[in-house]
């Protein structure tokens, strides 16, 4: 295990990513969200796993899904929703109500074709596409479909940006 932690995973070779990039993004993702309770622990875990991804590419899936769980927890707090409200329903509501829009994302990157095939047709904005994609990826993973892709790094950052929109003051409904 020590050897693994000292050697960058060769699968990152040629991507342009560096150890410094992983450290910088991990610091950013773990900053205080202003969320109540232990929600930030999901983002702290995301950050720890993100740092380790530099050394072990296989951790990119668990890293990404800790961010997704943090977003779901933020949605539950924002909408005061119990366990009977699904992640997809809450995320679609946040997009429909304009809480999460394309303005949430600092850098929208094109989604790979394998992800585009999982998105419901007719969705035009990136926020709408993410609201369709994230619950599908989550369900696939937690029902036995292992997910491993370099795009998960950027998606985890976007998930945190979505969560950040939920900590802003809510508008009166």
pLDDT tens digit string along 103-121? Answer: 999 999 999 999 999 998 9
170 found inside a domain: no
Q: Is residue 140 within 8 Å of residue 115, measured between CB atoms?
A: no
Tell me which residue range forms the domain holding 83: 2-165
Using one digit for the tens of pLDDT, what is the confidence trace for 32-70?
Answer: 888 887 899 999 999 999 999 999 999 999 999 999 999
153 found inside a domain: yes
Q: Is the pLDDT of residue 171 over 80?
A: no
Mean pLDDT value across the chain:
90
**Residue 122 neighbours by CB under 8 Å, 6+ apart:** none
74 found inside a domain: yes
How far is the C-alpha of 60 from the C-alpha of 131, rounded, in Å? 20
Cα–Cα distances in angstroms (integers) from residue 132 to residues 30, 71, 77, 173, in the given order: 25, 14, 20, 24
Poorest-pLDDT segment among 45-49, 137-141, 161-165, 166-170: 166-170
**Residue 162 neighbours by CB under 8 Å, 6+ apart:** 71, 94, 100, 104, 127, 130
- Domains in the chain: how many in total? 1
172 found inside a domain: no
61 found inside a domain: yes
104 found inside a domain: yes
Confirm whether pTM is higher than 0.85.
Answer: yes
72 found inside a domain: yes
pLDDT of residue 96: 97
How far is the C-alpha of 76 from the C-alpha of 145, rounded, in Å? 25
171 found inside a domain: no
């Amino acid at each position: 295990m020590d050897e693994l932690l000292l050697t960058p995973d060769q699968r990152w070779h040629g991507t342009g990513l560096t150890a410094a990039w992983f450290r910088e993004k991990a610091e950013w993702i773990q900053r205080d969200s202003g969320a109540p309770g232990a929600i930030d622990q999901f983002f702290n875990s995301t950050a720890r796993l993100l740092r380790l991804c530099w050394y072990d590419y296989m951790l990119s899936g668990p890293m990404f899904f800790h961010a997704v769980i943090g977003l779901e927890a933020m949605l539950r707090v924002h909408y005061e929703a119990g366990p009977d409200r699904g992640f997809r329903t809450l995320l679609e509501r946040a997009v429909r109500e304009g809480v999460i829009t394309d303005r949430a994302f600092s850098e929208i990157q094109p989604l790979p074709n394998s992800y585009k095939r999982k998105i419901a047709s007719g969705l035009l904005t990136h926020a709408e596409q993410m609201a369709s994609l994230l619950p599908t990826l989550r369900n696939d993973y937690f029902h036995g479909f292992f997910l491993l892709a370099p795009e998960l790094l950027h998606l985890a950052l976007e998930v945190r940006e979505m969560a950040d929109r939920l900590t802003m003051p809510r508008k009166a409904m």
